Amino acid sequence: MSAYRQHVTLSEIDHGAGLSKGTAFRAFKSLVETLQEGVDYEVLHHQQAHKSIAELRAAGRLYGSSINVIVLTANVAERVSAAAQALAASGR
């Protein structure tokens, strides 16, 4: 089982809220200055974390085109989801 089962992917946020691809990423980028890598989120680089990325992909938790992956804690995922929904509502 994936070491990231307690984390949420950006794809899961987009799909869960019915948002278009990339909306959660844009929301994450708008919040990243308030977050701490290694605490609030992790970036899985394809060269170092290829096994974990393959597990997430096999579980259907990623977009097919994902190379490097961002995984969020549940609390941060809620913030990103709210920001993504606000972005979508504003038409951005």
pLDDT at 47: 96
Partners of 9 in the β-ladder:
71
Given a cut of 60, whether residue 86 has pLDDT beyond it is yes
Tell me if the pTM is above 0.85: yes
Cα distance between residue 30 and residue 55, in whole Å: 28
Interacting residues of 52 by C-beta distance below 8 A, sequence separation 6+: 2, 3, 4, 44, 69
Query: Domain-by-domain residue ranges, the chain?
Result: 8-90
3-state secondary structure of 37: strand
Write out the two tokens for 36: 């701490």
pLDDT at 91: 81
Encoded amino acid at 84, one letter: A
Interacting residues of 14 by C-beta distance below 8 A, sequence separation 6+: 20, 21, 22, 23, 24, 84
Mean pLDDT, the chain, whole residue set: 95
